[in-house]
Chain A
């Protein structure tokens, strides 16, 4: 104690000051502004040490780069600080509830990260001789077994890179199956209006024509309308189950039967599998193909927008058309079935979708998660995710319009509309108000079948206390939107940025930094 020079020192106490709180730097204490690397780096600076320039024979023969790339460098301390400062301008699951509907923003266990970084998984080349990568194939095989068993399907294609890529995989298998039967005339895929945008985009990308299936007033597929449209031009349907209104499709088996009878196939968008994992097997409902987002149900990190992983499970009918490559067990040995080894048994395969064998780094994480939960834990995942969503639904339905609440419980996400908000106030204002309350907003304006939709998916990894606090904030913001409180229109007030001008960004696109780094400019 006595070693401190105490002259002039005293404990701080709260004092109210006068005047502007603007700062010289633009920083606000822990909220730090960060320039672009192009503004702070230089062509000379580097954060990696190499020895002297090597000398030896050049075989570049006239292709030597003459002009600089102008890639600014930072030393390691500058780089670590740059990215750490940027990271703090992000909301993330690690910071709080992230109820983005249809995205399943659940906790990402750190054991997954550790396992994916084991050198035996992280430092292995995809084209190593198969005898040197038996452990990698075994991971793929074990994960495949879990996915097939949990879904009650016949097989799984592991290579698709993300959900939409999985959709493409399923849709191409349907096309290949129809072509094999000489049914080239089946060119129409039916998609409910409430579907993710990727569904119609995928079908179109694969050369199909897309037609909407209308929804019932209860937010489900209109079975009669669907049946009425079936015919010799129908290739199949793409159904999301549970659907994007957060509801189970009780008629899915009837839909599948009708579609099969009419000669088509059933694709199920598995984005919402989290609600039913361990409780319902899509295979029991007549589904022919379904992608599974490992980055949703099976907790691999979303990473700011990927990488994802979208394995596709297939029925027996579509299995012969599944893409290459895949892993097969032969005794206690694993082989890779590729173009060369496919042979007659897999002659119907529609081909390769990606270089190499898929998102191995995601497979190790997903398998780690699945083994952690086990069959019992995964069932509990579905139950808790559905319980949490219904808890939010019932806590909010007196302040926000919940268009489907009366028809029964929701699955893993609760949906609200903008009905009853004050004149001039919108779903967007509620979203931005929630930002100030310290939450990532729910999914907004999706699905399109609900006006001003707000789709809330809390996931199973939130505690009751967290939900209670969120509900309090959500109710408060909703009330402000109903009362027409002007300050809400300009929210967020406390985020790193206020509302951004998206119109300007689209009208005058600035997609890359234009000036040369400072060292170049000084020359």
Chain B
């Protein structure tokens, strides 16, 4: 077995040193009834690299690859070009095969990356501080709602209809068990989110209001007025960002008054990967940091006075506080955070802005072109790189029909909101720098056919 260095001679010598007659003697504490006498029946034996590669490649070939067809899916996961050096960097064995930096003297590489990541994310989201990552955007969103409950000692969270339905689902699951009250609603196919309705729902029991920016339909809106209304009731505004590239050209949520900003960092440096692993972002103001979940890296000095980095404020965390911890999170998503950080470093201010401009202009042109198709109405007014179309037919079968033509046309709202009658004709379309004008043209003419 190529991953096992011990030879039978080694094993015999080691058993003799230990004073055991056989390997079975080391499993003596296992009750006899639970001991398996040999390899489990019905499972295949070990296989060569070549054989495994053949098996996995055959499975991979059964999927339609996003990069090989006209592709327009977003809704929380975005296809962007990732520079080759990002993948090279995360495959450095010293990053890939290290663990949580419990011994900082020999983990300064990971720790400095965490510190840089925290600093980049805080700036991007417009907050003072960010943590070293969460599992993903959906779990970060729930953690933010929990944090708002701890800070305000109130149990009612109001979630905008523009928040990703999976994120809302996760929060609903958790709230069932924690007793939090969630006020949720479906989005409406309107050009702007209904902020006034949110404002009207805020009361003295409200811990937080959660909005997504850009939202699930791609819409963007200034959240300053909402922030004022939330703060007037001493509640917190939580903003969710699932497409951080947008922040290259639009104001950050922090700038507009959000207290906690969470997000999904996948679109910078991390590929689609069928949904994971991704990287959850979590940022807030400095004064809230002691109620923050997750790992934090901080700057300090070593015994010789040299600058160095350590994990810090661990008294919030489960390994110290156990049942009194701010969260049960342990492992986060550091390798994906490295990928995101490296991509941001390669882009820099100028590159991120240019990337965002390219996305926006391409999406804007695509919206105009698709809006010309008979039976298609452009719903979204202000957006970044994703917009919603209202089709003259139910969108789900349209998406399936287009997939049969080799086009991955977008995410139908029927997929995201089964049973919501008013949304079934909605199609959310994302356009990035990877989308060509030919792709848009192909989609436009195919849509014309399918809707005819």
Contacts and interface: CB of A to CB of B under 8 A. Distances in A.
B10 A512 contact: no
Contacts of A249: 29
B265 to A, nearest CB: 12
A354 B346 contact: no
Interface stretch (B12-20, B153-161, B204-212, B231-239): B12-20
B77 A48 contact: no
B33 interface: yes
Contact of B73 (A55, A127, A390): A127
A59 B92 CA distance: 41
Interface string B186-206: 000000000000000000000
B392 interface: no
B321 to A, nearest CB: 7
Contacts of B289: 509, 511
| 7 interchain residue pairs of minimum CB distance | A73-B348, A120-B60, A303-B335, A356-B275, A135-B62, A94-B93, A126-B275
Interface string B235-259: 0000000000001111110010000
B274 A133 contact: yes
Contacts of B55: 371
9 contacts: A36-B115, A105-B99, A127-B411, A129-B399, A162-B330, A247-B29, A374-B47, A378-B39, A509-B289
Contact of A464 (B14, B31, B104, B250): B14
A205 B324 CA distance: 9
A118 B61 CA distance: 9
Contacts of A279: 27, 30, 35-36
B450 interface: no
Given A360-B273, A390-B20, A133 B330 contact: no
Contact of A162 (B33, B88, B264, B331): B331
Given A134-B62, A376-B46, A197 B135 contact: no
Residue from the set B11, B273, B297 with the largest chain A CB neighbour count within 10 Å = B273
Interface in A323-374: 323, 338-340, 350-362, 364, 367-368, 371-374
Interface string B360-388: 11101101100000000000011110000
A497 B251 contact: no
A365 B311 CA distance: 28
Contact of B61 (A105, A109, A135, A500): A135
A302 interface: yes
B173 A63 contact: no
A125 B295 contact: no
Given A149-B42, A164-B318, A352-B170, A278 B36 contact: yes
A88 B220 contact: no
B119 A74 contact: no
A350 B175 CA distance: 11
A422 interface: no
Contacts, number: 718
A55 B312 CA distance: 46
A139 B64 CA distance: 15
Residue from the set A48, A93, A299 with the largest chain B CB neighbour count within 10 Å = A48
B394 to A, nearest CB: 14
Given A87-B95, A250-B30, A80 B103 contact: no
Interface residues of B, number: 211
A262 interface: no
B371 to A, nearest CB: 12
Nearest to B382: A61
B330 A164 contact: yes
Contacts of B415: 127
A501 B220 contact: no
Interface string A437-481: 000110100100000000000001111101000000000000000
Contacts of B115: 36, 511-513
Given A57-B365, A304-B98, A460-B6, A197 B118 contact: no
A50 interface: yes
B225 interface: no
Interface in A203-232: 203-207, 210
Given A115-B56, A463-B5, 4 more contacts: A73-B348, A91-B107, A303-B96, A431-B103
Interface string B323-344: 1110111111111101000101
A91 B365 CA distance: 49
B128 A512 contact: yes
Interface in A359-404: 359-362, 364, 367-368, 371-381, 383-384, 386-388, 390-391, 394-395
B65 A86 contact: no
A98 interface: yes
Contacts of B424: none
B438 interface: no
Nearest to A251: B31
| A interface secondary structure, majority | loop
B342 A83 contact: yes
Contacts of B362: 54, 56
Contacts of B95: 83, 87, 90, 92, 303-304
B220 A63 contact: yes
A426 interface: no
B452 interface: no
Nearest to A105: B99
B216 to A, nearest CB: 11
A304 B113 contact: yes
Contacts of A207: 177-179
A387 B138 contact: no
A79 B77 contact: no
Nearest to A324: B169
Interface string B36-48: 1011101111110
Contacts of B330: 162-164, 196-198
Contacts of B91: 113
B276 A307 contact: yes
A258 interface: no
Contacts of B221: 63
A497 B351 contact: no
Residue from the set A305, A350, A497 with the largest chain B CB neighbour count within 10 Å = A305
Interface string B58-91: 0111111111100101011101000101011111
B400 A462 contact: no
A183 interface: no
A4 to B, nearest CB: 35
B348 A72 contact: yes
